Amino acid sequence: MTPVASQLGLGRRELVSLVGGGGKSTLLFRLGDELTAAGNKVILTTTTKMGRDQVLAVPTVCWSADTACVAAALDEPGPAMLLTYGDDHKVTGPPPDVVDDLYATSGVDYVIVEADGSKGRPLKAPAEHEPVIPTATTTVVILVGIDAVGHPLTQVTHRAEVAQRFLETGSDHVLTAADCAAVVLHPAGALSACPVASRVVVAITKVGTDEEKAAALRLKAAIEVLRPGTAAVVL
């Protein structure tokens, strides 16, 4: 199986921000395991919030962005999870500028950031303050679950009211592949928060059946029409 990092076209050293629909945490940990297994030093973190149960499987958690703490965490096997606060339910990470500094100064090979929330919905239409992408990000991965296609917008979209505005449609609208592409690549959506120099990749997830594969092909085609040259991969 082709490594996920290769499918996403990641280079030798990157700051990757994961945004959009559900599946970001799964991809975060998958990339962390894969890249450290290849001998890289990897920091995983979030600029928003994650469920505490999601990070329990990570053996090394650093609760401070202090240089010595991060260096010690990177010397341990596997990826290092950088967090700054946690309660019984949620954990948070450092602000974007701290992530930028870590990428610049810590000697890390990869920083992978969960930079958005979607409450598990396959499609995300961000509010004006979202997503929270560090300025030094080199690759932005926008996730969209193929299970959004063929379902009512309000059932499968986080911030459905924003998606309705993007698509100029009603709450009972059933999403097509072209609709999902239009939401993901809307100029006022995630793209508006992407650093100018960053590369954008759309990752289509939850593809298994022949019907889902056909929908994924339609989604890829719609992405190419809306933003020619944008990489779209099926994970």
Does 99 fall in a domain?
Answer: no
Q: What domain count does the chain have? A: 1
Does 54 fall in a domain?
Answer: no
Does 58 fall in a domain?
Answer: no
Task: Please list the residues that pair with 81 across neighbouring strands.
Answer: 44, 61
Does 67 fall in a domain?
Answer: no
Does 55 fall in a domain?
Answer: no
Does 180 fall in a domain?
Answer: yes
Q: What is the DSSP letter of 79?
A: P
Does 69 fall in a domain?
Answer: no
**Which structural domain range is residue 170 located in?**
4-42+110-234
Q: How far apart are CA 151 and CA 172, in angstroms?
A: 9
Q: How far apart are CA 197 and CA 35, in angstroms?
A: 23
pLDDT 10s digits, 152-197: 999 999 999 999 999 999 989 999 999 999 999 999 999 999 999 9
The average confidence (pLDDT) of the chain is 95
- Report the pLDDT value the prediction gives residue 53, as an integer from 0 to 100: 84
Q: How far apart are CA 105 and CA 169, in angstroms?
A: 47
Does 123 fall in a domain?
Answer: yes
- Report the pLDDT value the prediction gives residue 86, as an integer from 0 to 100: 78
Residues of the chain with pLDDT under 50: none
Q: How far apart are CA 100 and CA 10, in angstroms?
A: 18
Contact 156, 221 (CB under 8 A): no
* Percent with pLDDT over 70 in the chain: 100
